[in-house]
Amino acid sequence: MSLPIQTNIAIVGAGPHALTLVTHLLQKRKKYRHKIIVFDPSATWMSQWRQQFAAQEIPHLRSPAVHHPDPDPYSLRRFAENRPNELFPPYDLPGTKLFQEFSQDVVSRWQLEDKVYKASVTNIAPITHRGNPQFRVELDDGNSTIARQVIIANGGGKPQLPQWAKKIPTPYPNQRLCHSHQVDLQGLRLRGEKVLIIGGGLTSGHLVVGALKRGANVTLMVRRQLKEKLFDAEPGWLGPKYLKAFSAETDWQKRWQLIQQARDGGSMTPAVMTQLRRYQHQDKLSIFEECQVVGAEFASDRWQVKCDDGMTWEFDRIWLATGTKLDVTQQPILKEVLHTHPVKIVNGLPVLDEYLRWSGCELFIMGGLAALQVGPVARNLSGARMASSRIVSALKS
């Protein structure tokens, strides 16, 4: 698509959150179709999501079939009518291929194929244009456009690395120590290799299964006990059961603590946990709980890894499934916005108004960075729907 000189709404990112927002917006106001432009380096919807699921060989989603980018909660079920074996128990969790094809169907039903412009946004500059506050959206291809309203829907987490991983004294080949974001199981050969996977969340579970299938000898190390949970936050967080008290809490620091308690670090689904225990019984997998790495060095083509119990182990590769850190001050594209419109920030999360709008300007935020308003499920598909209904009601035509 060609880049307009100006637009009413610019959306950063073309993942599930952005897609959810656009369909909800068009459902309410059809005429917006020609007032939206979406920026993503892939030029296609859901591309990063697809790559991530393929790279980690994730068989199905963690959230039930009612959570997806279409405004009609039942449309995915209808889409899956003749594919019942692609909805996994319990609660009909959609298979990855099913969800991908459904999202494609959403894009074509809402005629959104031509809405994504191929570029990364490098900066959002608040400006005054013809006497009105606007934004100059600057792109990595050297172009820019003027937008009245901007919505950040690109996830925005930075890979979180443990302290010891930042202080490795010896040089090592890149692929021998990776954050889970960089691991692509497709095409990896691991037969006979010893792989250490660190982290207690679902990502580490997927990587363990993927590495074992490729013939690796795997050790999973978790700093606490492994936790088994169906969802990453209790279903009560999807409705008034928990959100009522959360929204009534006026102390932002306390809200942040409620979010941490609800998500409570990483957890595994019962299905993945069953697989891991089976591999453990077959002696293909070692699980070290309540165990942390304190140092590592790369010598004679192997990792020497020292743990807090004083033991030292040898591995060929280390994968860090240690999550991402959300910190709005670390978002380069928001540097000028932070400067011209300073907001209160609580542990990296901006305090937004009830419409998820940045104080003093028409910039809106979806995803994990909006958690202080949306709650613990802000980064999930259900959070995308909750965020969309707030933002859509505040957008100006």
Domain ranges of the chain: 6-157+325-392, 161-232+267-322
CB–CB of 192/315 below 8 Å? Answer: no
Q: What is the pLDDT of residue 195?
A: 98
User: How much is the pTM?
Assistant: 0.97
Give the pLDDT of residue 130.
87
Q: Which two tokens stand for residue 226?
A: 């492994």
pLDDT on residue 2:
87
Query: CATH assignment of 161-232+267-322, given 3.50.50.60, 3.30.360.10, 3.30.2310.20, 3.40.50.200?
Result: 3.50.50.60
> Residue 172 has what pLDDT?
97
- Which of the 8 DSSP states describes residue 143? -
For residue 125, what are the contacts with CB-CB under 8 A and spacing of at least 6?
A: 135, 136, 138, 336
- Other CB atoms within 10 Å distance of the CB of residue 89: 7
DSSP tally for the chain: helices H, then strands E: 12, 21
The confidence score (pLDDT) of residue 265 equals: 85
What does the chain come to in residues? 397
pLDDT at 1: 81
DSSP assigned state of 193: -
User: Coil, helix or strand for 306?
Assistant: strand
Domain at 6-157+325-392: CATH architecture: 3-Layer(bba) Sandwich (3.50)
In order along its 397 residues, the chain shows pLDDT tens digits of 889 999 999 999 999 999 999 999 999 999 999 999 999 999 999 999 999 999 999 999 999 999 999 999 999 999 999 999 999 999 999 999 999 999 999 999 999 999 999 999 999 999 998 899 999 999 999 999 999 999 999 987 899 999 999 999 999 999 999 999 999 999 999 999 999 999 999 999 999 999 999 999 999 999 999 999 999 999 999 999 999 999 999 999 999 999 999 988 899 999 999 999 999 999 999 999 999 999 999 999 999 999 999 999 999 999 999 999 999 999 999 999 999 999 999 999 999 999 999 999 999 999 999 999 999 999 999 999 999 999 999 999 8
Pairing between β-strand 324-326 and β-strand 157-159 as defined by DSSP bridges: antiparallel
Tell me which DSSP letter residue 279 carries: H
Residue 360 class from Cβ within 10 Å (0-12 exposed, 13-18 middle, 19+ buried)? middle
Pick the closest to residue 69 from 390, 393, 392, 388 (CA basis).
388
Kindly state the tokens that stand for 335.
């540097």
Q: What is the pLDDT of residue 397?
A: 86
The three-state secondary structure class of 276 is helix
* Surface-to-core class of residue 299, CB atoms within 10 Å of its CB (0-12 exposed, 13-18 middle, 19+ buried): exposed
Tokens of 18: 């952005």
The answer to whether 6-157+325-392 and 161-232+267-322 have equal CATH topology is yes
